[in-house]
Amino acid sequence: MTTRTPNFTGWRAVILSEEDGNTDRLRRQFGLLGISASLQWTPLAVADLPDLVLIDADRGWDELLPISDIAPACPVVALLGSEAPGRIAFALRHGAGAIIPKPVAASAVYPALVLAASVHAERVEARRRIAHLEERLKLRPIVFAAVARLAGERHVDEERAYAILRDCAMRRRMPIEQLAAFFLGGSETLREVG
Amino acid sequence: MKIGILYSTSGPYGAMGRDAHAGAEFAFHDYRARGGSLIEPVFFDPRADLSAYLEGARSLIRDHGCRHIVGTITSSARKEVIPLVEKHDGLLWYMCPYEGFEANENVIYIGGCPNQHLIPLFDYLLPRHGVRPYLVGANYVWGWEMNRLARELIHNAGGTVLGERYLPLEETAVERIVADIAEKRPSFVLNNLVGPSSYAFLAAMRKLGERDPAFLPENCPVASCDLQECELGDIGEGAALGQLCAASYFDTLDTPDNRAFKARLAGWSGGERIVSSLFASAYTAVSLCIAAIEAAGSDAPERVRGEVLARAWPSLFGDMRVDAATNHAALPFLLGRINDRHGFDVIASAPALAADPYLTGAPTKRAPRLRVVS
């Protein structure tokens, strides 16, 4: 298997922290990686999200990073010196996919970025799949209704009715839910079967 | 003022450590020969014991007051030492080719990273020998990461890796790997084995070539990024003849600086001596450290680093610049072919390349499909 070398060239990062030795070291490593970084200790504007957010989880407050773990819009890395469960929970709540311990060691930065970016990509993909499946789940009653009507009209059992719908959907290259909706709406007569 | 020298002169990479140790000694000889007396070396030999590197570095820093350590060969030893050097805000001078993905403020890197050795090596090999290599390596981070990157480069070139095998550091049972190579018939072999495994492998590949000329070096070369002149004596007579190695220095380099260096060295060691790139690199690291301490008028690491980064320094590698962002030296690329005099003939070269330790310059870009041309 080939692992691609992670490349952050051209990324924009915002470090939500006060300036100190740790942020100096972060900026240095970011420079090496081709990432442009800015520093602020005021809430991040949701309208202007960067490619990557780092947040001081020792001292951060909720409004500092107004995105949540349910749908973080970009990879998040927590800077953490404390071991207090509350601060770790803060990091998780704000979607941190990796932690860089304080004081920041140069060798901790790149691995954390790779981890956070990968966790973020996985979450985005998982969210997309869940949304897709939920949508199909919501449309299930329409499929049931179509099966029942088709079984009644064509005098076949429900299993056969379902097979007809599925085959037609496949032939027309559309989801079965969509085909069922067309059939119930009268714009699809399923002429070629039965 | 003292500079710590930390090399293992025994163990699986002892030949390399002895050469690096000697290169450091010769740099101090040169320094004293021109009247220098303020800076002294302190040698520590960890005898290839990983935990002894940390003890050694601690003793050099705490007991001897060294603020600079030149040393370590393997990445695992370097990683052992770095946290301590960081803690004391000293400088580690590392001078071996390595697998990249590191750029520490407290380390000056004089050895090359992959965009300075592996990538130009592949740029040479792929159009000439094809895109179906076999990868072998020592079973630790050097072998793993070099082969990972090789795999990526081959993938981008539209090629196929025919096999990838690893051996523990001192393992010399290479028969199964060589049998697999004989069966798969790759276009070339990338050898990231270290020490005795590498020597046994090269000897076995020679035998295979004698049985089947398709595996002679001119048809299916074995290419390395870390084979040294000082090791060629340990490989069976003629076994590595014609094989390839990438480096930034070879003994045979025909420049006025290298001729003068070799003449001085012959005087010191009482006869002609073949210089490996490790000897030359350790010599360069120590000489650069001494010169920068003299220029700074102090061994305070931040001032020494400032001096190193401020200008180009004459060296065996040509004028050497250390990049302020990465702390890595720009290095020339040389491709050597092993000759019958325990040395390398330079068959291709490129001028000094800046280091790109994190490969941010997208050197792994998808290249046009290459075809076997030979």
**Peptide bond just before B351 cis, omega within 30 deg:** no
- Determine the longest span between alpha carbons in chain B, in angstroms: 62
Where along chain B do its domains lie?
2-112+255-331, 118-251+333-353
Q: Cα separation of A192 and B217, whole Å? A: 67
The confidence band for B241, taking pLDDT boundaries of 50, 70 and 90, is very high
Q: List the B189-192 sheet strands across, edge first.
A: B163-167, B134-138, B189-192, B222-224, B244-247, B331-338, B344-353
Among B147, B360, B365, B366, the residue to mutate for chain A (most A Cβ within 10 A):
B360
Matching fold, domains B2-112+255-331 and B118-251+333-353: yes
Q: Is B358 on the interface with A (CB under 8 A)?
A: yes
- What is the mean predicted confidence (pLDDT) over B319-336? 96
Strand ranges for A58-189 from DSSP E: 76-80, 96-101
- What is the mean predicted confidence (pLDDT) over A66-87? 84
Whether B374 contacts B129, CB under 8 Å: yes
Q: Is B29 on the interface with A (CB under 8 A)?
A: no
Asked whether residue B374 carries a pLDDT value surpassing 50, the answer given is: no
Question: Which pair of tokens denotes residue A33?
Answer: 């990686």
Q: Is B354 on the interface with A (CB under 8 A)?
A: no
Asked whether residue B151 carries a pLDDT value surpassing 50, the answer given is: yes
> Which domains, ranges and CATH numbers included, belong to chain A?
12-131 (3.40.50.2300), 140-185 (1.10.10)
Cα A100–Cα A104–Cα A109 angle in degrees, nearest 5:
55
Q: Cα separation of B151 and B180, whole Å? A: 18
A37 contacts in chain B (CB < 8 Å)? none
Q: Cα separation of A163 and A169, whole Å? A: 10
Assigned architecture for domain B118-251+333-353: 3-Layer(aba) Sandwich (3.40)
B105 contacts in chain A (CB < 8 Å)? 25, 28, 106
The confidence band for A1, taking pLDDT boundaries of 50, 70 and 90, is low
More confident residue, A190 or B28: B28
Cα A121–Cα A123–Cα A127 angle in degrees, nearest 5:
120
Q: Is B82 on the interface with A (CB under 8 A)?
A: yes
Assigned architecture for domain B2-112+255-331: 3-Layer(aba) Sandwich (3.40)
Whether B296 contacts B38, CB under 8 Å: no
- What is the mean predicted confidence (pLDDT) over A151-170? 92
| CA dist list (Å): B191 to A38, A73, B27, B70, B363 | 43, 43, 31, 27, 21
Q: Compute φ and ψ for A114, nearest 5 degrees.
A: -60, -45
B361 contacts in chain A (CB < 8 Å)? 9
- What is the mean predicted confidence (pLDDT) over B62-84? 95
ipTM of the complex: 0.79
The confidence band for A70, taking pLDDT boundaries of 50, 70 and 90, is low
The confidence band for B366, taking pLDDT boundaries of 50, 70 and 90, is very low
- What is the mean predicted confidence (pLDDT) over A89-105? 94
Q: Cα separation of A53 and A76, whole Å? A: 5
Whether B290 contacts B33, CB under 8 Å: no
B148 contacts in chain A (CB < 8 Å)? 2-3
pLDDT at B368: 42
- What is the mean predicted confidence (pLDDT) over B340-354? 93
Residue B280 one-letter amino acid: A
- What is the mean predicted confidence (pLDDT) over A177-183? 92
pLDDT at A192: 64
Chain B nearest-CA residue for A29: B103
Residue B367 one-letter amino acid: A
A5 contacts in chain B (CB < 8 Å)? 149, 152, 359, 364
Residue A104 one-letter amino acid: V
Question: Which pair of tokens denotes residue A143?
Answer: 């499929």
More confident residue, B350 or A3: B350
Dihedral angle of Cα A125, A130, A131, A132, to the nearest 10 degrees: 90
| CA dist list (Å): A175 to A143, A169, A192, B23, B257 | 11, 6, 18, 72, 75
Contacts of B168 (CB under 8 A, 6+ apart): B138, B139, B197
pLDDT at B364: 41
- What is the mean predicted confidence (pLDDT) over A73-78? 94
Q: Compute φ and ψ for B220, nearest 5 degrees.
A: -140, 80
Residue in the structure block whose two tokens are 């100190």:
A20
Inter-chain CB proximity A7 and B362 less than 8 Å: yes
Other CB atoms within 10 Å distance of the CB of residue A173: 6
- What is the mean predicted confidence (pLDDT) over B303-329? 96
Helix (H) or strand (E) holding B349: strand B344-353
pLDDT at A69: 56
Q: Output the DSSP codes for B216-258.
A: STTTS-EEESS--HHHHTTSPTTTTTT-EEEES--TT---HHH
Chain B nearest-CA residue for A1: B151
Q: Is B89 on the interface with A (CB under 8 A)?
A: no
A34 contacts in chain B (CB < 8 Å)? 360
Chain A residues within 8 Å of chain B (Cβ atoms): 2-5, 7-9, 25, 28-29, 31-34, 105-107, 110
Distance from CA of B165 to the nearest CA of A (A): 14
Inter-chain CB proximity B86 and A105 less than 8 Å: yes
Asked whether residue A73 carries a pLDDT value surpassing 70, the answer given is: yes
% chain B with pLDDT above 90: 84
The confidence band for B370, taking pLDDT boundaries of 50, 70 and 90, is very low
Question: Which pair of tokens denotes residue B354?
Answer: 């800046």
- What is the mean predicted confidence (pLDDT) over B145-168? 96
Other CB atoms within 10 Å distance of the CB of residue A180: 26
Residue in the structure block whose two tokens are 């691995």:
A111
- Report which of B360, B167, B231, B110 is spatially closest to residue A32, judged by C-alpha positions: B360
Asked whether residue B363 carries a pLDDT value surpassing 50, the answer given is: no
Distance from CA of B359 to the nearest CA of A (A): 8
Identify which of A124-138, A169-183, B10-24, B322-336 has the greatest average pLDDT. Answer: B322-336
More confident residue, B15 or B151: B151
Q: Is B114 on the interface with A (CB under 8 A)?
A: no
Inter-chain CB proximity A3 and B152 less than 8 Å: yes
B104 contacts in chain A (CB < 8 Å)? 106-107
Q: What 3-state class would DSSP assign to A193? A: coil
- Report which of B11, B90, B92, B18 is spatially closest to residue B52, judged by C-alpha positions: B11
Question: What's the mean pLDDT when you consider all of chain B?
Answer: 93
Q: Which residues pair with B109 in a beta bridge?
A: B94, B328
pLDDT at B342: 86
Write the residue in A4, A25, A110 that is nearest to B358 by C-beta: A110
Q: Is B141 on the interface with A (CB under 8 A)?
A: no
Among A1, A3, A5, the residue to mutate for chain B (most B Cβ within 10 A):
A5
- What is the mean predicted confidence (pLDDT) over A170-186? 91
Report the half-sphere exposure of A86 (CA within 13 A, side-chain side): 5
Write the residue in A5, A9, A107 that is nearest to B149 by C-beta: A5
The confidence band for A193, taking pLDDT boundaries of 50, 70 and 90, is low
Question: Which pair of tokens denotes residue B126?
Answer: 């792929």
pLDDT at B134: 98
